[in-house]
Structure 1
Amino acid sequence: MTEEAIFRSANMVLVQVYMASEIARDCVWVLGEMGSIEFLDLNEGVNSFQRAFVEETRRLDNTERQLRYLEGVMREQGVEEPREAYGGAYGGAARQPSRDLEELMQRTPQTTSEMDAVVKAVAEYEQGVREMAETYRGLEKRQQGLQEERSVLEGTRKYFETRMSYDGYRDGDDGSGDRNSSDRFTISSNDSLLTQEERAEGFGPDDVGLHDLEAAPSTGAGPMPRESSVNILGTAMGVVCGTIETDKFAILERILWRTLRGNLYMARVEIGAPVVDFDTGEEQRRCIFAVFTHGGGLVARSRAVAESLGGRVVEVPGSHRAYAVAVHGVNGKLADVQRVLAGTAERLAVELKEVAGQLAGWRAAVASDKAVYAAMNRFDYDPARRCLVAEGWMPRGDVGTARAAMVDVADRRGVDIAPVVSVVDSHLTPPTFFRTNKFTAAFQAIVDAYGIASYREINPGLPAIVTFPFMFAIMFGDMGHGLILTLAAACLCLAESVIARQPHRGEIFDMAYSGRYVLLLIGLFSIFTGFLYSDLFSRPVTLFASRWAYPAGFKEGQTVSATQTGVYPIGLDWAWHSAENTLLFANSYKMKLSILMGFIHMSYSLQLSLANFRFFKSRVDIIGNYIPGFLFMHCIFGYLCLTIVYKWCVDWIGLKRVAPSLLNMLINMFLAPGTVDHQLYPGQGPVQLVLLAIALVCVPWLLLYKPLALRRAHNHSVALGYSEVLSGPSEASSLASSHSHYSPLRPSESESHALSPSNSLSPSNSHSSSFSHPPPPPFNFADIMVNQVIYTIEFCLNCVSHTASYLRLWALSLAHNQLSSVLWNMTLRNSFVAYSERGFWGCIIVVLLFALWFVLTVAVLVCMEGTSAMLHSLRLHWVEAMSKHFQGEGYKYTPFSFYRLLTSDNDS
C-alpha cells in the first residue's frame, strides 16, 4: 500500500535494479511513467562525452535544435501552435504519473523505430522549411533593396525639382542626337556648396509616386551613365547617390569632408518609414544621400567610403528620359519579386501549419527519449551478466509496483531474464519526499523555500495550511478586504484549467496563480477575523444589537460613560468603534492577544520536537533538550499568558481595584523575586519564586545533560571493546551531530530487507553499490559541548525575542485598521457630505471619490498591506515557530518523471 507521506516524509529505500540491455530503455520508460525513482549517478568519474549512450543523446540534441529552429520560423511567420490539455510546450502529451500496475501496463513505451521515424520527419521538415525560409529571406532582402533604390530615385527627383532647374548641357549629348535637349540637370547658382539637408517625413520605401514617369516614352533614350553628370556653373560634376543609416550620415559627412578636403556638395532626404536589418532583425532608420564632387577619382573615393559604412549606392541617370526608364525597370522588378515572395510565403505557411500540428508531440517524444538516455548514462554496465545496473531512491511502498511493471515489460518483449529489483543497505541520507496535491503544494513550497525538512522529520507544511493564513488574518482582519481577496482567488481557482494552458504567464501573475489556494484561505480567514473584529472597510458591522447602553438625553460632544448590559454574542461589540477610548482598548486587547497567539504557536511547535525525538527514539534529546526547554518557556511565558487570561476574567471595577500592570509584574519577577507591588491573586509571590527557580535550574540542565550523557555512552561503548568508529549508527554517534540537536536514523536492517524475499540470492550480494558508505564522524566532546552552549543561549534568548516578535500581530492589525479608517474618512465620508450639500454635483463627486477609494483600497490596503502581512506571517513561521522543532538539513526528492519533465516549463 502506498504511504501517504504528508505528516512525515515517505520511507525511502535505496534500490538496485538489474535489467537486460535489450529491454533497459523500455524499463526506464515505464519508471518514467511511474515517476517514483530518483536515479543515482554511478559514473561520476566518467566525462559526459565518454558515456555509453552519448551518440543517442547527441542525435536527440540535434533534433531538439531542429525543433527550436522550426518554432522560431513559426514565430517569425505568425503561425500559432495549437495548445491542448496542460498547455505548455508539449501540448497534451504530459500524463499524470501513475502507481497503479494495471494502468502502467496499458502505457506502452515508444519504440525505437517510432522514434527514428520522428527524427527523420523532423529532419525532412527542417530541411524543407530552412530552404524555403532562406529563399523567402533572400527575396525580402531583394525587395528591400529595390524599394530603397526606388526611394533614391524618387528622393533625387524631388530634390532636383526643388533645388535644380532643368537646363541642357552647353555641349552635352543625351545619346539621342539631340544636343539641345532639356533633359539635363543643373544646380542653381544660389545654392550653397557645402551640405544641404531635406526631410520628407511621410516618404517611405513603399511610396511610389513614380507611375507618371513610367508612362514616359523610353525610345531614343541614351544609355544610363555610370554616375550622373550635372552642370554646376558651367563645370561638370559627378554625383554619388544612395541610402545609409541616419546615425551614420554625420560620420559619412565628416569622413568625406576630410577625404575630399571640403571639395563636395552633400544633400540628404530622410526616409520616413523604418526598414528592417535582416542581419540583426532590428529596425533602423535610413536616409537618402547625394554627394556632388569634381572628377572621377573623387567620385570613386566617395562611393568607397559610403559602401564601407554600410551604405547602398544607387546609380541615378543624368537625363529625364533615362530616369523614366530606370524607374520603370525598378517597378517591374519589384512587382516580380513581390509576386514570387507571396507565393513563397504561401507555401511556407502551408508547410509550417503541418509542422504546428505535430510540433508538441514531436517535442514531447524527443524530450522523453532524451531523458531516458540521460538516465541510462547514469547506469553501470555489468559485463559478466551483459546487463545494466541502476541505483536510486524510491518510496518503499512503490518498490513492488515498479518490480511488477518491469517484469511485465520483459514478458511483452519476450526476454527470458526478468529485471531484478533489490533493496540495498546504505549509510547515505535519503531524500525528503512529501506527497502534495494542487492544494497543499503552495504551502509546502512556502516551507521548502526556507529549507528542506530532514529525512523523516515532521513536515512543517502540514500545520502551516492553517496557521499561515490564520496569522495573516490576525494582521489583515477586515471582512471587506478579505472578501476582495477571496473573490480574486476564487476566480483563479475556477479558471485554473484555462490558465494552466497558457504557455507564457507573467512572473507576478504566475506567482499569484501558483498560490491561488493560499490566497483563497487567507481571504476566508480574513473574513472570519474581520467578523470577530466587527470590521467592514473600517466600518462597524451591526449584526447584533450592542450590549452597551448610553444614558438618555446626552448632548452631542458631551463625554458620557456607557453601561454594559450583557455580553456580545460573538467578537467585539461594534459600539467600541464610536467610543473615544477605542484606540486604547484595541491596543490593550490586540497586544495581549498577540502574546497569547504567539505562545500557543511556539508551544505547539515545541511539541512537534517531542514527536520527532520520540520517533527517532532519541531519549537524550527528550531529557536534555525538550523537558528543560518546555519548563523554561512555560514557567515564564506560559505564566504570563495565564495571568493575561486571569486579568481578563476578573471584574476589577466591581472589586473597586486597579488592575495591576502585567509588564511591571514580569519585570519585578526577575529584579525582585518574591515581592509583589500590586497583587494579582493571593499567593502570587511564592508562586512566582518557585517558577523562577525552576526556570533557572533548566538553564544548566539544558546546557550540560546532553553532552555529558553522550560522553558517558561513548565511554561505555569503548569500555566494552567497541572502536570509536562504529559499524552502524548509534545514539552516541548519530545524536552528536554538529548541526542539530537530533539526527534522523535510518530504518533497521531487518526493515530494509522486508521487501526482498530472497536476499541471500540477490545480485546485490555480488555487485556492491558504486557509492562508498562513509562511517559516522568520530566522537568529539568539545564540538558537542560548543554546539550545546550555542543551542542553550539561542533557546533562552529566543524565548524572549520570539515572544516579543509576535507583537507584530498587534502592530500590523492596528496599522491596517487605522489606514483603512483614514482612507474612508478622506474619500467616501467627504463625498457623502458633498452630496447632501450640492445635490446633483454632489452625486458626481460621490462617484469619483468612490472610484478613488476603491482603487486605493485594492492597491494599498489589499495588495501592499496584504504583501506586508504575508511577509510577516512568513517570518513568524520560518523563524519563531520552526526554530522550535525544524532541523531542515534534507535535500529534495527529484524523481525521474515524464510528467515533471513535460510540465516543468509551466510550473517554473
Structure 2
Amino acid sequence: MSLIQLYIPTEISKESVYALGTLGLIQFRDLNKKINAFQRTFISEIRRLDNVERQYRFLKGEMDSKNIEMVELAFGQSSNNKFTSRNEIDELVEDAQILEDRIAQLKESSESLLKKQVDLLQLQQVLIASDGFFSQTDINPDLIDLGEDAAAILENGGFRDQSFTTGVIPTEKVETLERILWRVLRGNLYMTSKPIEKPLFDPKSNKFVQKSTFIIFAHGELILSRVRKICESLDADLYFVDSDAKQRVKQSKEQNDRLADVTAVLDTTQITLETELKAISVELSQWWDLIKLEKSVYTVMNLCHYDLVRKCLIAEGWVPTDGLPKVKQTLEKISKSNSNNDNSSIPIVINTIDTSRTPPTYHKTNKFTAAFQAMVDAYGVATYREVNPALPTAATFPFMFAIMFGDLGHGFIMALVAFVMVLYERKIGLMKRDEIFDMAYTGRYILLLMGVFSMYTGFLYNDLFSISMTWFKSGWKWPDHWEEGDSIEGTQVGVYPIGLDPAWHGTENALLFSNSYKMKLSILMGFIHMTYSYMFSLVNAVHFKSTIDIIGNFIPGLLFMQGIFGYLTVCIVYKWTVDWVAIEKPAPSLLNMLISMFLSPGTVTEQLYPHQATVQVILLVVALICVPCLLLVKPLHFKFTHNHEYSELSAHSNDEASDENNLLTDLNIEDDDEHEEHTFGDVMIHQVIHTIEFCLNCVSHTASYLRLWALSLAHAQLSSVLWSMTIAGSFGTTGLLGVIMTFLMFGMWFVLTVCILVVMEGTSAMLHSLRLHWVESMSKFFEGEGYPYEPYAFSKVLAAAEE
C-alpha cells in the first residue's frame, strides 16, 4: 500500500473525485477530524441531496402502497458511472420537488374524495335502513317499545313527536353500544340496527370493515346529545335523516347524485396518480443512484482540506502500489479534458509519501476466496503484511468440519445443494434473498467443499447413512459354522486397503474400536493443525525481520510444544505400529504415561519403548528451560537495546515524514495519529501474559481438538438411531402394508435426515470447526490488529444503499 497526496484545482475537484469513485482504488483519509461535521465545506450540498432522497423515499412509499414496482437497473447499465454535471443535478433537485408536490396534491385530493365517498356510501345505507324502519312503524306503531315509561311518553304526544339519532358503527361494537345506552338511560330508549351487506372502507384504519346502521329514539335534546357523544366515542359516524318520507326521498336523490359525482372524480384522480407513479417508477432508480453517488462525492470532498488561498482541494489516501499507475492515468485524463483556451491542461499534482503510519490491510479475493476471507475478518483483520489465515483456512476448515460430519450420504446431500447454488449463482444472485438463504448463498463454495470433504471422510469411516459398504475385500474372516449363543471371533486374513473395514459394523466392540481410533486421531489432527499454524509465526518474524521474536518466542515455544505434545503424538503412532498381542504385552496407557512424566519424572510403570525414562526426563527438562526463556529473553533484549534502537527509529521516522509534516504544518492540517511508545514494564507484562497463555493453551487447545472425536461419534450414533427407528423397522413388514410403511417411513427418515443431521448437525459441526480455527489455530500466530482497506468505490456505495 502507498500513501498519496493529491492537489486538485477547485474547478475540477468534483469531476476528479467522481472519476476516482468510478475507479475504486483510493481509501481517503479524513484531514478534518477536528472540524465538526456540520461545519465542513460541502455540508449544504449534502443537506440538499438528503432532502432529495427524502422526496424519493416518499415517492417509493407511494408506489409501494399502489403495488407499483420500481424498475431497478444494475450498476453499469445506466449512465451512473459517468460524470453528472451541476446542471443535471440541479434539474434532478427541481424535478424532485415538482414531483413531490404533484404526488402529494394528488394523494391529498384522493384521500379527501375517498372520505367523501365513504361518507356518502354510509349515508346511503342509513337512508335505506331508515326508509325500511319508518315504513314498518307506520304500519304497526306498536313495534316501538320505550320501556317502563311508555305510558308517560305517549301522554306527551306519542311516537310522532319523538326525536331520534341515526348513524353507522362497526358491527362488532353494536352490542357494546346497546349495553352502554341501556345502562346510561335506564332503558328509556328504543334502538334498532341492521348490518350492511358489503364491508365499507374505513379511512381511519385504512382497511375494509364490516359495519351496521342504527336508529336510536330517546326523549329530549339533552339525552340525545349524550347519546351522540357515546356513539362517537365508539367510532360511530352520525347522520341527519328527516322523519318526513318526502324529504327523505329528496335527500336520497341528492345523495345519489353527489355520490356519482364524487366517485367519478375519485376514479379520475386515482388513475392520474397511478399513471404518474408508473411513469416515475421507470426512472426513479436511476435518479436515486445519481443522487446517492453525488452525495458520496461531497462526503469524500468533506474529508479533504479545502485550501481557499491556493484554490485547490488537498486529498490524502491509501492506494495499492500496483494500482497507482491507474490512478495517475485517470487523473491525467481529467486534467487534459479540462484544458484551458491555450490548450494547456489544468495540473493535478500526485505525491507518494513515505510515512510511518500503518497502512490498511488489503487482500485480493475472488468469488471462491471471498467467503473464507470474510470468515477470518469476522474474527479480526490481519495486521498489515502479516500472514493471511484465509489461505490455509480454505483447506483446513472444510476438512475439520468433515472429520466431525463424516458420512458419505449426508455429505452428498450438502454437496448437491451447494452445487446447485454454484451452478445457478448468476440467477440466484439477481433474486431477493432473506438473511438465512443469503448466508448460504454467500458461502456456497464453503458448503461445496464441506460436502465433498465429508464424502471423503465418510468413505474413510465407511458410513453411508449409518450403513457400511463393502468397497473392497474385508481383512477379517468369520467362522463357517457356529451355534446360536456362541461368542464369535473373526480371524484376520489381510489388511483392508483404505478406510474402516466393514467387518467391524455390527460387532459388539465396534463402538469401542471406533471410539479409541477417533479419539487418538483427533489428537493427531489437532497437533498437526497447531504445529502447522505455529509455523506461520516464524514466517511473520522472518518477514518483519524480528530476530528476537524467533529466538525469544518461536524457538522456545516450538521446543515446549514438541517436547510434550509432539512426544505424545509420536507415542500414539508408535503404539499403533506395535502388535501387542503378538509380543504378549499389555498396551500401555498413554494418558497415564503423560501424567507420570510430570508427576514422577524418570519412572515408567508400563514401558512403551526402550530407554523411555531417559527420553522423557530430557524432554521435560527442555520444556522447563523453555518457560523462563519465553518469559525473559525478549524483555531483557528490550532492556539493553531499546534506547539505542528507539533513538535511531525516531530519527529515521522523522526523516521519512519530514516532507509530509512540513506540508501539513504549512496547510494548518493537524496530524492526529498517535505513536505509542513502549517501556520495559509494558514489554515485561506483555511477555508474562504471552508465556502463561501459551503454556496453558498448549494443554487446553490440544484437549479442545477432542471435539473432533466427540461430534463424529455423536453424528454416527444419531444417524444409526434415526435409521433403526424409521426406515429399518418397515423392512420387516411384507405385502401392501409393507409397501405403505416403507413409503411413509422413507419420507419421515429423509425429512428428519435433512432437518436434523444435515442442517442442525451440520451447523453445529461448522461452528465447532470455526472455533478451532479462530481460537486454537489463529492464536498461534495471528495478531489481528489491522484495519480493512475500504476504498471509495461507486459499486460499494450503491450496494450499501440497497442494504
Q: Compute the TM-score of the two structures, normalised by the length of structure 2.
A: 0.92
Match of 1:363 in 2: 288
Aligned residue for 2:379, secondary structure, equals coil
- Aligned-pair CA distance for 1:83: 4.2
Contact 1:425–1:749 (CA under 8 A) maintained in structure 2:
no
* 1:139 has 2:139 as partner: no
- Aligned-pair CA distance for 1:52: 1.6
Distance 1:372 1:905, change over 3 A: closer
- Aligned-pair CA distance for 1:139: 2.4
Partners in 1 of 2:755 and 2:157 — Cα distance?
70
Distance 1:362 1:232, change over 3 A: farther
Match of 2:64 in 1: 75
Partners in 1 of 2:144 and 2:178 — Cα distance?
22
Match of 1:464 in 2: 393
Partners in 2 of 1:282 and 1:371 — Cα distance?
40
The one of 203, 207, 223 equivalent to 1:298 is 223
Partner deviation per Cα, 1:227-246 (whole Å, 9 max, x = no partner): xx999965743222223456
Contact 1:84–1:501 (CA under 8 A) maintained in structure 2:
no
Contact 2:73–2:286 (CA under 8 A) maintained in structure 1:
no
Counting helix residues as a fraction of each chain, which structure ranks higher?
2
- Aligned-pair CA distance for 1:501: 2.0
* 1:866 has 2:744 as partner: no
Contact 1:268–1:290 (CA under 8 A) maintained in structure 2:
yes
Partners in 2 of 1:289 and 1:446 — Cα distance?
66
Contact 1:17–1:422 (CA under 8 A) maintained in structure 2:
yes
Amino acid at match of 1:188: L
Aligned residue for 1:422, secondary structure, equals strand
**Residues 674-823 of structure 1: matches in 2 within 5 Å?**
674-716=602-644, 722=647, 726-727=650-651, 767=667, 770-777=670-677, 779-823=678-722
Aligned residue for 2:732, secondary structure, equals helix
Q: Which moved more, 1:888-897 or 1:128-137?
A: 128-137
Match of 1:394 in 2: 319
- Aligned-pair CA distance for 1:457: 1.4
Contact 1:403–1:420 (CA under 8 A) maintained in structure 2:
no
Amino acid at match of 2:391: L
Aligned residue for 1:640, secondary structure, equals helix
Match of 1:847 in 2: 743
Amino acid at match of 2:116: R
The one of 4, 19, 28 equivalent to 1:39 is 28
Match of 1:102 in 2: none
* 1:340 has 2:265 as partner: yes
Partners in 2 of 1:783 and 1:230 — Cα distance?
105
**Residues 88-107 of structure 1: matches in 2 within 5 Å?**
92=77
* 1:16 has 2:5 as partner: yes
Gaps in structure 1 of 5+ consecutive residues: 1-11, 96-106, 169-181, 195-228, 730-747, 754-758
Distance 1:235 1:261, change over 3 A: farther
Distance 1:297 1:190, change over 3 A: closer
Please tell me the root mean square deviation across aligned C-alpha atoms, in Å.
3.1
**Residues 258-297 of structure 1: matches in 2 within 5 Å?**
263-267=188-192, 277-278=202-203, 281=206, 287-297=212-222
The one of 848, 856, 860 equivalent to 2:752 is 856
The one of 18, 32, 44 equivalent to 1:29 is 18
Percent of aligned positions with the same letter in both sequences?
A: 48
Distance 1:148 1:190, change over 3 A: closer
Match of 1:315 in 2: 240
Distance 1:250 1:905, change over 3 A: farther
The one of 631, 642, 659 equivalent to 2:559 is 631
- Aligned-pair CA distance for 1:124: 3.1
- Aligned-pair CA distance for 1:311: 3.1
- Aligned-pair CA distance for 1:17: 1.0
Distance 1:165 1:311, change over 3 A: closer
- Aligned-pair CA distance for 1:77: 0.9
Contact 1:165–1:187 (CA under 8 A) maintained in structure 2:
no
Contact 2:145–2:190 (CA under 8 A) maintained in structure 1:
no
Distance 1:385 1:643, change over 3 A: same
Contact 1:432–1:456 (CA under 8 A) maintained in structure 2:
yes
Aligned residue for 2:606, secondary structure, equals coil
Match of 1:588 in 2: 516
Q: Which moved more, 1:274-283 or 1:706-715?
A: 274-283
Amino acid at match of 1:684: Q
Aligned residue for 1:803, secondary structure, equals helix
The one of 768, 774, 789 equivalent to 1:878 is 774
Contact 2:146–2:188 (CA under 8 A) maintained in structure 1:
no
* 1:904 has 2:803 as partner: no
Partners in 1 of 2:665 and 2:685 — Cα distance?
42
Distance 1:261 1:789, change over 3 A: same
Gaps in structure 2 of 5+ consecutive residues: none
Partner deviation per Cα, 1:818-841 (whole Å, 9 max, x = no partner): 00000000111111112x3xx012
Distance 1:581 1:274, change over 3 A: farther
Match of 1:100 in 2: none
Contact 2:336–2:346 (CA under 8 A) maintained in structure 1:
no
Partners in 2 of 1:287 and 1:622 — Cα distance?
88
Amino acid at match of 1:559: S
The one of 233, 238, 242 equivalent to 2:163 is 238
* 1:895 has 2:791 as partner: yes
Match of 1:379 in 2: 304
Partner deviation per Cα, 1:343-375 (whole Å, 9 max, x = no partner): 333222222222111121111111111100111
* 1:830 has 2:726 as partner: no
Distance 1:715 1:30, change over 3 A: closer
Partner deviation per Cα, 1:14-56 (whole Å, 9 max, x = no partner): 2211101111111101111111112122222323332222222
Partners in 2 of 1:605 and 1:364 — Cα distance?
45
Partner deviation per Cα, 1:156-179 (whole Å, 9 max, x = no partner): 567x4xxx88344xxxxxxxxxxx
Partner deviation per Cα, 1:543-570 (whole Å, 9 max, x = no partner): 2222211111234554211122222222
Q: Which moved more, 1:643-652 or 1:707-716?
A: 707-716
Partner deviation per Cα, 1:422-458 (whole Å, 9 max, x = no partner): 1234443322222222221111111111112222211
Contact 2:338–2:346 (CA under 8 A) maintained in structure 1:
no
Contact 1:94–1:899 (CA under 8 A) maintained in structure 2:
no
Partners in 1 of 2:497 and 2:790 — Cα distance?
51
